[in-house]
Amino acid sequence: MSETSNKTVQGDESPKAEKTAVAEAAAATATVPAPAEDPTAAGVAVVDPRLLVREEGLKGYVTEFKRKVKGGELGSLPVVIGLIIIWTIFQAKNSLFLSADNLSNISYFLSATGMLAIGLVFVLLLGEIDLSVGSVSGLASTVFAVFVVNHGMNQWLALVLTIITGIGIGALHGWFFARIGVPAFVVTLAGFLGWNGLMLWLLGDSGTINIPADSGPVHILGQSSFFMDQAIIGAYLLAGLGVVLSALGQFNEQRRRRAAGVPFRPTSEIIVRVVLLAIASFVAAAVLNNAAGVSNALVIFLASLVIVDFVLRRTTFGRKVFAVGGGIEAARRAGISVPLVRITVFAISGGFAAIGGMFFAGQTASATLNAGGGNTLMLAIAAAVIGGTSLFGGRGSVWSALLGMLVIQSIQTGLDLLNMNTSIQYMITGGVLLGAVVIDSVSRKSQKAAGRG
Binding-site member from 57, 181, 204, 451 for another protein (CB under 8 A): 451
Among the listed residues 4, 6, 15, 214, the single contact to another protein using CB under 8 A = 15
Binding to another protein (CB under 8 A) within 236-255 occurs at 253
- 389-428 footprint of another protein as x/- string (CB under 8 A): ----xxx---------------------------------
Over the Cα atoms of the chain, what is R_g?
A: 24
Interface pick for another protein out of 83, 247, 284, 336 (rule CB under 8 A): 336
Size of the site for another protein (CB under 8 A): 64
Pick one of 59, 66, 179, 314: the residue that binds another protein (CB under 8 A).
314
Query: Which of residues 138, 217, 261, 388 is near another protein by CB under 8 A?
Result: 261
Which part of the chain contacts another protein (CB under 8 A), choosing from 40-48, 114-122, 291-299, 426-434?
40-48
Q: Is 17 a binder of another protein (CB under 8 A)?
A: yes
Of the ranges 13-21, 224-232, 237-245, 374-382, which one interacts with another protein (CB under 8 A)?
13-21
Measured from the Cβ of residue 258, the count of other Cβ atoms closer than 10 Å reads 13
Q: Is the dihedral of CA 215, 218, 219, 221 positive or negative?
A: positive
Site for another protein in 337-356 (CB under 8 A): 337
How near is the Cβ of 312 to another protein at its closest, in Å? 11
Residue among 39 and 216 whose Cβ is closer to another protein? 39
69 binds another protein (CB under 8 A): no
| Shorter beta-carbon distance to another protein: residue 219 or 265 | 265
CB of 41: closest distance to another protein in angstroms? 12
Neighbours of 275 (CB within 10 A): 12
Q: Which of 37, 51, 92, 215 binds another protein (CB under 8 A)?
A: 51
Among the listed residues 58, 232, 262, 303, the single contact to another protein using CB under 8 A: 262
For another protein, the binding residue among 22, 85, 98, 271 (CB under 8 A) is: 22
Among 36, 41, 45, 80, binds another protein (CB under 8 A): 45
Query: Of these, 28, 57, 95, 201, which contacts another protein (CB under 8 A)?
Result: 28
β-pairing verdict for 366-368 and 208-210: antiparallel
Q: Are 107 and 298 in contact (CB under 8 A)?
A: yes
Among 4, 5, 37, 48, binds another protein (CB under 8 A): 48
Question: Which residue's CB is nearer to another protein, number 36 or number 80?
Answer: 36
From 47-55, 155-163, 340-348, 361-369, give the range in contact with another protein by CB under 8 A. 47-55
Closest distance between another protein and the C-beta of residue 218, in Å? 34
Polymer length in residues for the chain: 453
Q: Is 326 in the site for another protein (CB under 8 A)?
A: yes
Q: Is residue 40 involved in binding another protein (CB under 8 A)? A: no
What torsion, rounded to 10 degrees, do the Cα atoms 330, 443, 403, 251 define? 60
Nearer to another protein, 93 or 313 (CB): 313
Candidate residues 5, 18, 402, 445; the one interacting with another protein per rule CB under 8 A: 18
d(CA 375, CA 373) in angstroms, rounded, equals 6
φ and ψ at residue 394, rounded to 5 degrees? 85, -15
Contacts 24+ apart (CB under 8 A), 34-39: 35/261, 37/261, 38/261, 39/258, 39/261, 39/262, 39/263, 39/264
Degrees, nearest 5: CA angle 422-425-431? 145
In the complex, the residues that contact another protein under the rule CB under 8 A are 1, 3, 9-10, 12-15, 17-22, 24-26, 28-32, 34-35, 42, 45-48, 50-51, 253, 256-257, 260-262, 313-316, 319, 322-323, 325-327, 329-337, 393-395, 448, 450-453
